[in-house]
Amino acid sequence: MLNLSMKWRIGLGVTILVILAIGAVSLLAYAEYKEGMLGSLDRRLKNSTSMIQDLFLKNDPLVDSDQRLKETFVLFPNLNEVDYKIWFEGDEVLFCNRPAMDSLSDQILSENPDIEWPKGRFVTNVTCQGEPLRALWAKSKVHINEETPDRELNIIGYLSTANIHKEEKEFLQEILIIGGLVIWGGVIGMLTILRWGLRPLDQLIAQMEKISRNPTQEISLESPAAVKELLSFITSWKQMLKRLSLAMDEHKRFTSDISHELRTPMATVKSTLQLARSQRRSVEYYEQTLDRSLEDLDRMNQLIDKLLELSRLENGALARAVESIEMKDFLEKLIVKYQPIVAGFGKKLQSTLCSVTISGDRLLLEQLMTNLLDNAVKYSSEASVISVQMKKKHSFLEIIVHDEGGHIPLEEQANIFKRFYRVDKARSRDSGGLGLGLAIADEIVQLHGGTISVVSSCDAGTDFVIMLPLMPPKNELIEGE
């Protein structure tokens, strides 16, 4: 199939419809014209034969019939336009003004063996000596007198249709010429209208070509391209470009961050080993050097593992075992396990739980809570209290992990769930974090159809708020999502 543009596809489709419409109208006009021309001939033949029948019905047909016919043709010149053959059934021909047509009745009978005579007339097309004719054969009963039985009068009138066929051909040629001109003019006009109508789309394409070189360029909804039919497309397109721009910025930042995160331990290991090799050292020094190098390499290994885990979460490639989870029992066991870790930092862990069931992956939810509790332990103040609160909110479960840690500025709160994003002082590398815990937590929450947000102030501390949908009915639970 030809790869035609939208303009040509619409134009071709409309052109075909126009041609079909003009063709149908032309055929109808031609048929009506032809029928009208033949109808005109038939009326002339009918009127002429009726006048001759009336002549025989009003007068004695046995007295000077031939003379009266000649006188009638003189009185009514229009009768001379038609050629006739007149005779009584079983007798010789009374009148025939064209001897060549004498055998016309035999020809009509041979070509139409089953003639019916509605109202005493029969109309047909015949050819005599190569000339096309329209013939009307009329029969009527003529009463002569009481002593003589009624006789059947036959009148055949005929007219040449050569001129009609010629006019039909001329009319058909005129229709074809006019139809061709109309189609040609219609195609030119339609293409002009399409070019004007699709101009906003061409302008939009021009903008898209410019934006292909600069994806962050804005599109003006007040531009000529912003016609009503394109507004929804332009709006969706702007949103797509905005997401694309954010994704590109995120990709650039991620590439920069990952380079920095990997380059730092690599540089440390390299410089440490180079320093150890620069001169002879003691065994203890070599052991310390190897230990520090192993720590940096272990950090790099953890970072790679976390990145792979985050990538699998984002791409949905991580296998999930969805099940019904009673969250009160789940969190109680997790808090009991985490209590010694919190106590080791000189802090307390409290909880306020309620009985709620959700649908989720137990291992992923455990990792989510572990990341948030690790974050709270690292950045909360000394001898402070960390709390986990649970409550129902409509069709969602709300979990709040609270700590009395450093304040996260409002302008930073929207970014803390991004990979490698660190708030100054509150999230330094000295704490041992990789900058991926909250990003992984955000992905886990999204996989469960929920949301996670942060609320932080200098006085109240920091709250991480998780909203998870409650357990749906059994027939709506999709296992293995």
Among 24, 27, 10, 25, smallest CA distance to 187 is for 10
Amino acid at 423: V
Rg for the chain, CA atoms, rounded? 52
Q: Rounded to a whole number, what is the largest CA-CA distance in the chain?
A: 165
Smallest CA-to-CA distance from 408 within 457, 459, 463 is with 457
Q: Is 422 helix (H, G, I), strand (E, B) or coil?
A: coil
Which residue from 385, 327, 323 is spatially nearest to 359, judged by alpha carbons? Answer: 323
Q: Helix H segments across 59-103?
A: 65-75
The 3-state DSSP class for residue 268 equals: helix
Q: Report pLDDT for 428.
A: 46
Question: What pLDDT sits at residue 399?
Answer: 93
Per-residue pLDDT at 229:
67
Q: What is the mean pLDDT of the chain?
A: 78
Whole-angstrom CA distances from 200 to 189, 223, 395, 439, 443 are 19, 9, 46, 42, 41
Residues of the chain with pLDDT under 50: 1, 221, 317, 425-431, 475-481
Q: Specify whether the CB–CB gap between 334 and 326 falls below 8 A.
A: no
pLDDT value at residue 481: 40
How far apart, in whole angstroms, are the C-alpha atoms of residue 151 and residue 373?
126
State the amino acid at position 417 in one-letter form: F
Give dist(CA 36, CA 47) in Å, integer.
16
Helices (H), 214-348: 228-277, 283-315, 327-344
DSSP per-residue codes, 181-208: HHHHHHHHHHHHHHHHHTHHHHHHHHHH
Asked if residue 123 lies in contact with residue 130, where contact means CB atoms within 8 angstroms, the answer is no
